[in-house]
Structure 1
Amino acid sequence: MAIGVLCIHGFSGGPYEIEPFTSYLCANTDWLVEAPTLSGHGEELNMKGFTAQHWLMDAELALRALAKKVDDIIIVGFSMGGIIALYLAKRYKVKKLVLLSAAAKYVSPKQLVKDFKMLATDAYHRNLANNELFVRYRHKFSDVPLSATVEFMKLVQKVEPYYQDIKIPVYIIQGKLDGIVPYHTAQFLYDQLASTNKKLYFSNNGKHHICHCEDHLDWFTEVLAFLKER
């Protein structure tokens, strides 16, 4: 039985955000793993003019193409990609879901203040090159138009009514130091989803880019075991 894994990146990001996990799946399974780039996204951002509908359609087309090659589909979604994963699971036959820092709610003011204090300190000491927040977001501050951010919020609102319709097995991963998605969002999703087989993992030191956190191999192995369960 052929298994396909569709991995969906986050808002203003690209497949590089989830690359450590996609590489892990490729190294430890014979599954067909695909990670498309949503319109306007990727290493070079060009988001002006693209809408939530474009991103949902990109993901749908990728899922349909993958479905022609495999028997069962697993969807992994990071941040906004987690919300798109829920959208697809509502509309298509999906075997299992993995939600990474899923953006059902966004911006943790308390953690963001801490992160920006560290940013200011590192800037003062001329150490920005080693600041994770700066390295991951420096190109986004100027390259993400306000219209795209509005579309992201529209997408989250569109999918929220679907949460209680999701009944397939799901594994939720969340970092406690996430400054973009408040870490209690994971518990909110866990409670909202109608799945009877659902698991929740909190990374104590994990920030938003959870696939790049120090303990990523701990949950990589847990999630893979979950995905292989009959």
Structure 2
Amino acid sequence: MQLLPGAEPFRHDGGEVGVLVCHGFTGSPQSVRPWADYLAERGLTVSLPLLPGHGTRWQDMAVTGWQDWYAEVDRELWALRERCSEVFVCGLSMGGALTLRLAARHGTAVSGIVLVNPANKVHGVAARALPVLRHLMPSTKGIASDIALPGAVEVGYDRVPLHSAHSFRRFLRMLDAELPQVTQPLLLMHSPQDHVVPPADSARILSRVSSLDVTERLLERSYHVATLDHDAETVFEETYAFIGRLSKGLAELGTAPGG
């Protein structure tokens, strides 16, 4: 199946500090590729996988579920662990939810996590009807390109497959119970004006995790896909500074911010 432009997975072989970057629901690596490029250009080893069912047609996603998406990032995490002495995980939207589960499940194998507009719940009046609705209609309107920056476009599906939305909802409900197991240093950046994931999701996550080292940043000028929006550079700089503060590898190389 032919990939959409920019939907290709990305890997960069850099130093001993690794970063796994996770894209969002119905999106593709294109939405977070500038984030991955920024880190790769600074010498980090970076992995940005294409989640199963994404980056082609929404019909391909309809036959996948959360187990497939999580298995992909789990594999990439362990590939980075074999290559790197430290691994950080970053995620946008559903990618943030996947990041949280990796942190909850793998403990010290994850050195820190960065979340941008992370999802905690499937919202909308039809959410509770998904178990039945998904059998009556295959898809609904898409959620891609919630971006304030004029001309910026997210490569994602124009339809949301309801079987996948139902699976995603089940995943988020399961993940919410696991959030207290998240203990790693956490940087959470979110947009007050987000038309896909409301700020309440970030508040819920911050209230549930057990992390003691927590930094929250507001992305005042951006909508949901902040990694392609006005605050993208802030996201990238804050991420690198966060990793630099925590990483022994970057400090030893003298490449940490202020180092």
Equivalent residue number for residue 257 of structure 2 = none
Q: Is residue 2:223 matched to residue 1:210? A: no
Q: Is residue 2:75 matched to residue 1:57? A: no
Equivalent residue number for residue 26 of structure 1 = 40
Q: Is residue 2:179 matched to residue 1:166? A: no
Q: Distance in 1 between matches of 2:66 and 2:171?
A: 6
Q: Distance in 2 between matches of 1:36 and 1:97?
A: 17
Equivalent residue number for residue 193 of structure 2 = 177
Query: How big is the shift at 1:191?
Result: 2.1
Equivalent residue number for residue 126 of structure 1 = none
Cα deviations across residues 116-138 of structure 1 (Å, max 9, x unaligned)?
xxxxxxxxxxxxxx676xx5488
> Partner letter of residue 8 of structure 1?
C
> Partner letter of residue 154 of structure 1?
R
> What 5-or-longer segments of structure 2 have no aligned partner?
1-14, 126-149, 247-259
Cα deviations across residues 48-87 of structure 1 (Å, max 9, x unaligned)?
2111111111111111112111111100011111111111
Equivalent residue number for residue 39 of structure 1 = 52
Whether the 8 Å CA contact 1:179–1:208 is kept in 2: the answer is yes
Q: Distance in 1 between matches of 2:163 and 2:99?
A: 22
Partner SS state of residue 113, structure 2: strand
Equivalent residue number for residue 96 of structure 2 = 82
Q: Distance in 2 between matches of 1:159 and 1:183?
A: 18
Q: Distance in 2 between matches of 1:138 and 1:39?
A: 13
Q: Distance in 2 between matches of 1:177 and 1:78?
A: 15
Q: Distance in 2 between matches of 1:17 and 1:198?
A: 25
Q: Distance in 1 between matches of 2:236 and 2:66?
A: 29
Query: How big is the shift at 1:102?
Result: 0.4
Structure with greater proportional helix content: 1
> Partner letter of residue 210 of structure 1?
A
Partner SS state of residue 104, structure 1: coil
Query: How big is the shift at 1:8?
Result: 0.8
How many equivalent pairs are there? 205
Equivalent residue number for residue 149 of structure 1 = 165
Q: Distance in 1 between matches of 2:222 and 2:104?
A: 29
Cα deviations across residues 159-179 of structure 1 (Å, max 9, x unaligned)?
111111111101001111111
Query: How big is the shift at 1:212?
Result: 1.1
1:211 and 1:163, CA in 2 relative to 1: closer, same or farther beyond 3 A?
A: same
> Partner letter of residue 157 of structure 1?
R
CA RMSD between the two structures: 2.1
Whether the 8 Å CA contact 1:8–1:36 is kept in 2: the answer is yes
Q: Distance in 2 between matches of 1:179 and 1:107?
A: 11
Query: How big is the shift at 1:218?
Result: 2.4
Equivalent of 2:206, from 167, 173, 190? Answer: 190
Whether the 8 Å CA contact 2:30–2:155 is kept in 1: the answer is no
Q: Distance in 1 between matches of 2:18 and 2:124?
A: 33
Cα deviations across residues 89-136 of structure 1 (Å, max 9, x unaligned)?
112220000011100134489xxxxxxxxxxxxxxxxxxxx676xx54
* Identical-residue share of aligned pairs (%): 26
Q: Distance in 1 between matches of 2:204 and 2:79?
A: 32
